[in-house]
Amino acid sequence: MRETQAIIDRVSLLNEHFQRLHLSVENLAGEIKPGHSLLARRDTREWEPYLRPRWWPSSINPATNSFSVDLPTSTTYQQGEIIGLLGLVGEPFRHRRTLRHVLLLAVDTPPLPLLLSIPFLLSNSINVTLVISGSGLDYPTKLLPPEVEVIQADDQLNWSNQVMTVGLADQVFVTVNPDRELERMETVWKVFHERRAEVPKLYLFGVMQSPIPCGVGACQACLLALKEGLTTLCIEGPAVDLTMMGWG
């Protein structure tokens, strides 16, 4: 975890709900992996580590020390603005060595924590399906690479050909609306448990968006109880193997 600064090179409007910030940053872009996030602060004159918004990079370009992040249009950003960043937060996603098909699931939330997985997986010739529901549908999925299969789910988490989609997936990464994060994750767990005879380890991961006040394991605000004890989401998250949750 270290503090650095980024400059906003460009802001592009994706649709009425989302914008993309294109940022340059020194010596960080090459280290960002799917699963990492950054804690951002706009006014860099005072050092204030707490309650920074959490940004999930959507693409990186190590050759130009740049990355992008997709954010709601509810906050306006300016070209040339300096952003203070703390990061990197968390551990990269634990992808299996042999993967053919990955299912990404965004339940009533935009798929922001999952976006950086997409170029990583596609560049490794891994098929990607994104299932998205509720408020997640505000995100402009039409702008995703055409290779990504996008499926709309209803509010009960049903979608067409669900049995086949779940059966084809070698790994699944799920993010849910953080308003009732654990309750929604448990619902996802039940859906997969009904669709598969067994949910193996390292197959179904919940990508937690819980608040990260300090990001360094100091405040204990992000502790999560697993079957085998507590985990610190800002250090060992954001992805949690849902077989560790003790939901049966």
Beta carbon nearer to ligand FES, 126 or 214: 214
Question: Using H for helix, E for strand and C for coil, what is the string for the chain?
Answer: CEEEEEEEEEEEECCCCEEEEEEEECCCHHHCCCCCEEEEECCCCCCCCCCCCEECEEEEEHHHCEEEEEEECCCCCCCCCEEEEEEEECCCCCCCCCCCEEEEEEECCCCHHHCCHHHHHHHCCCEEEEEECHHHHHCCHHHCCCCCEEEECCCCCCCCCHHHHHHHCCEEEEEECHHHHHHHHHHHHHHHHHHCCCCCCCCEEEECCCCCCCCCCCCCCCEEEECCEEEEHHHHCCEEEHHHCCCC
CA pair distance 150, 131, nearest whole angstrom: 6
Complex with ligand FES: residue 22 or 54, whichever CB lies closer: 54
Q: Smallest gap, in angstroms, from Cβ of residue 1 to ligand FES?
A: 11
Smallest separation (angstroms) from ligand FES to the CB of 194? 33
Of 204 and 222, nearer to ligand FES (C-beta) is: 222
Contact 189, 204 (CB under 8 A): yes
Of 166 and 222, CB closest to ligand FES: 222
CB of 185 to ligand FES, least distance (A): 18
Q: What is the closest distance, in whole angstroms, from the C-beta atom of residue 244 to ligand FES in the complex?
A: 18
| Nearest CB to ligand FES, comparing residues 99 and 219 | 219
CB of 174 to ligand FES, least distance (A): 21
Closer CB to ligand FES, 182 or 221, in the complex: 221
The site for ligand FES (CB under 6 A) is made up of 212-215, 217-222, 232, 234
Closest distance between ligand FES and the C-beta of residue 236, in Å?
A: 10
Indicate the residue whose CB is closest to ligand FES: 234
